[in-house]
């Protein structure tokens, strides 16, 4: 009988190891063996439950750490990463190791369910297989979006990010064989379109985005958490307290994850129809079709406006940094400019002080309106709107840092034991990224009630659209 190592926590069946190089010592639980588990009732359902738990924890941690890496949030506290906010990304950083470990855990846990548990449990259903295939595909997607290269098997040679995205597509296509609803079809086709978008394959991205819209024009797929059972949304802990502070032009979207009752843990969106319009609009602009892009962006506005808004959020304990290192605007009287010399905009900052309750769009929200779209004639101007809407719509979902061109290195443990990792131990930080915490910098005039963001990163992204780092279709 081949034993299962203690770190699997067989009762929860959360995951197997990220890779052999990242395993703890081979401590054996003498009371539980692999055969015992595989012959247990509902083995597959138990394994899927544990894999889903691991998936939720991975998504929450990716959101927490990569949002800090971006211009969306500044860490105004002592917990979580202080280096990613600078940004400094070292292959020796424990957070880099943790994120790599999550990806390996998900891939290997899904593989074990597909290759071992499915063969042993006659009660395995197509829905179980669908669940495991999309989690495995998502592990490759995270690797392809956020790392330079990673192994694709325990102890194996590292494969670059383009290979990871190809494996994501291949695995998602397998998941399509087990879809049980039109929403499942829309979900997986969206993930395939997302992978093709990141790889710069405009034809396939547009094709799969169109397929997804044929199945649903408004679907949403979330990862769920359970505060009662201790499965917590890692980023919620920071943004519903005073720890993380949003860039002032994004204040109206924070906190996306809130608590209306004790121990409530809000879900994180991993796919939604909004992405399809953004991909198609970018493709239209790459084809120099501003008219088509405007039409798509207006359809996107209508979809975003239809999304729910929570109107009863008490955020009155949020001092916007009044007791911390950096102070933030705390009144709706403030106007915000995206960078020096740009016009000031109203309604981007909310008043959270007593007795105010605030309203937050918790699936998608945007500050863009139809007039902004209509009054922007140029391709570059519309492209800046596309990336502003990407920033706002995917806010707090762990997507922005990838749009900025960041890529993480292979972690130290892997690099020390895998010769093919040597070219990938230096993080990718594009040369146009401002350093020294300037991604989050702004000037605030308390008398004039104005805020000027130091760097409009959406404009900077567009200025560098032909570089290797950003805007894949250009």
Omega into 87 within 30° of 0, i.e. cis? yes
Distance in angstroms (rounded) separating the CA atoms of residues 23 and 438: 37
* Per-residue pLDDT at 10: 37
Name the phi and psi angles at 299, rounded to 5.
-65, -40
Q: Identify which of 262, 277, 285, 246 has the alpha carbon closest to the alpha carbon of residue 73.
A: 246
Give the pair of three-digit tokens for residue 4: 């299962």
Q: What share of the chain is helix, strand, coil (3-state, %, to 5)?
A: 45, 15, 40
Write out pLDDT tens, residues 420-448: 999 999 999 999 999 999 999 999 999 99
User: Other CB atoms closer than 10 Å to residue 39's CB: what's the count?
Assistant: 11
| Element holding 38 (H helix, E strand) | helix 34-38
Quickly state the pLDDT bin for 2 (edges 50, 70, 90). Answer: very low
What's the mean pLDDT in 110-137? 98
Residues with Cβ within 8 Å of residue 174, at least 6 apart in sequence? 133, 137
Q: What is the DSSP letter of 122?
A: T
CA distances from 126 to 116, 118, 122, 179, 280 (A): 15, 10, 12, 8, 31
Q: Identify which of 6, 12, 45 has the alpha carbon closest to the alpha carbon of residue 226.
A: 12
pLDDT at 21 over 60: no
Least reliable range by pLDDT among 36-40, 97-101, 409-413, 446-450: 36-40
Q: Identify which of 130, 140, 129 has the alpha carbon closest to the alpha carbon of residue 106.
A: 140
* Per-residue pLDDT at 18: 35
Q: What is the DSSP letter of 160?
A: E
* Per-residue pLDDT at 326: 85
Distance in angstroms (rounded) separating the CA atoms of residues 212 and 279: 12
* Per-residue pLDDT at 24: 39
Q: Identify which of 110, 107, 113 has the alpha carbon closest to the alpha carbon of residue 37.
A: 113
Quickly state the pLDDT bin for 29 (edges 50, 70, 90). Answer: low
* Per-residue pLDDT at 463: 98
Mapped onto helix, strand or coil, the DSSP state of residue 245 is strand
| Distance of alpha carbon 18 from the chain centroid | 19
Write out pLDDT tens, residues 199-232: 999 999 999 999 999 999 999 999 999 999 999 9
Omega into 255 within 30° of 0, i.e. cis? yes
Q: What percent of the chain is predicted at pLDDT more than 70?
A: 93
Residue with the two structure tokens 């920071």:
238
Is residue 150 within 8 A of residue 101, CB to CB? The reply is no
Name the phi and psi angles at 262, rounded to 5.
-60, 135
Any idea of the CA torsion for 72, 270, 361, 328, to the nearest 10 degrees?
A: -20
Mapped onto helix, strand or coil, the DSSP state of residue 451 is strand
Give the pair of three-digit tokens for residue 36: 């015992």
* Per-residue pLDDT at 32: 60
Q: Which neighbouring-strand residues pair with 360?
A: 310
* Per-residue pLDDT at 324: 57
Write out pLDDT tens, residues 244-279: 999 999 999 999 999 999 999 999 999 999 999 999
Write out pLDDT tens, residues 53-94: 999 999 999 999 999 999 999 998 888 999 999 999 999 999
Q: What is the DSSP letter of 421?
A: G
pLDDT at 162 over 70: yes
Mapped onto helix, strand or coil, the DSSP state of residue 321 is coil
* Per-residue pLDDT at 5: 39
What's the mean pLDDT in 12-38? 53
Distance in angstroms (rounded) separating the CA atoms of residues 56 and 53: 5
Quickly state the pLDDT bin for 319 (edges 50, 70, 90). Answer: confident
Omega into 355 within 30° of 0, i.e. cis? yes
Quickly state the pLDDT bin for 4 (edges 50, 70, 90). Answer: very low
Is residue 339 within 8 A of residue 456, CB to CB? The reply is yes
What's the mean pLDDT in 285-298? 98
Is residue 286 within 8 A of residue 473, CB to CB? The reply is yes
If 0-12 CB within 10 Å is exposed, 13-18 middle and 19+ buried, where does residue 136 land?
buried
Q: What is the DSSP letter of 289?
A: -
Average pLDDT of the chain is: 93
Which residue ranges form the domains of the chain, and what is each CATH number? 3-244+273-323+361-435 (1.25.40.390)
Q: Identify which of 77, 101, 158, 53 has the alpha carbon closest to the alpha carbon of residue 320.
A: 77
Q: Identify which of 162, 159, 158 has the alpha carbon closest to the alpha carbon of residue 199.
A: 162
């Amino acid at each position: 009988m081949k034993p299962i190592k203690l770190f699997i926590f067989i009762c929860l069946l959360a995951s197997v190891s990220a890779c052999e190089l990242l395993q703890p010592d081979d401590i054996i639980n003498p009371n539980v063996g692999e055969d015992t588990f595989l012959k247990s009732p509902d083995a597959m359902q138990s394994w899927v439950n544990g894999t889903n738990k691991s998936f939720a924890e991975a998504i929450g941690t990716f959101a927490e750490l990569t949002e800090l890496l971006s211009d969306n949030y500044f860490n105004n506290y002592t917990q979580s990463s202080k280096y990613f906010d600078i940004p400094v990304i070292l292959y020796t950083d424990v957070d880099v190791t943790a994120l790599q470990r999550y990806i390996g855990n998900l891939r290997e846990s899904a593989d074990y369910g597909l290759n071992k548990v499915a063969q042993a449990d006659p009660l395995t259903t197509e829905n179980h297989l669908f669940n495991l295939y999309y989690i495995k595909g998502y592990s490759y997607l995270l690797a392809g979006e956020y790392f330079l290269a990673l192994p694709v098997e325990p102890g194996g040679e590292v494969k670059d990010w383009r290979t990871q995205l190809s494996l994501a597509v291949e695995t998602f296509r397998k998941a399509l064989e087990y879809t049980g609803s039109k929403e499942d079809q829309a979900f997986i086709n969206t993930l395939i379109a997302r992978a093709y978008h990141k790889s710069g394959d405009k034809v396939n991205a547009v094709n799969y985005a169109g397929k997804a819209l044929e199945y649903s024009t408004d679907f949403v797929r979330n990862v769920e958490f359970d505060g009662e059972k201790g499965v917590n949304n890692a980023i919620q802990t920071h943004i519903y307290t005073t720890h993380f502070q949003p860039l002032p032009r994004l204040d109206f979207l924070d906190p996306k994850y809130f608590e209306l009752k004790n121990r409530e843990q809000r879900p994180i969106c991993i796919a939604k129809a909004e992405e399809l319009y953004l991909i198609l609009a970018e493709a239209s602009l790459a084809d120099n079709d501003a008219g088509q892009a405007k039409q798509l962006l207006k359809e996107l506005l209508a979809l975003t406006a239809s999304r729910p808004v929570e109107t009863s959020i008490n955020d009155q304990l949020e001092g916007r940094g009044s007791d911390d290192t950096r102070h933030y605007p705390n009144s709706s009287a403030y106007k915000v400019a995206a960078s020096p010399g740009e016009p000031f905009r109203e309604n981007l900052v909310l008043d959270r002080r007593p007795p105010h309750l605030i309203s937050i769009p918790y699936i998608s929200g945007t500050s863009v309106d139809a007039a902004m779209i209509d009054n922007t004639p140029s391709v570059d101007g519309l492209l800046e709107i596309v990336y502003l809407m990407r920033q706002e719509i995917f806010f707090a979902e762990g997507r922005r840092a990838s749009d900025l061109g960041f890529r993480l290195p292979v972690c130290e443990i892997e690099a020390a034991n895998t010769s093919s990792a040597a070219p990938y131990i230096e993080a990718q930080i594009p040369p146009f990224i401002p350093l020294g915490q300037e991604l989050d910098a702004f000037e605030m005039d308390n008398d004039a009630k104005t805020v000027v963001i130091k760097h409009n990163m959406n404009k900077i992204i567009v200025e560098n659209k032909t570089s290797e780092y950003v805007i894949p279709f250009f």
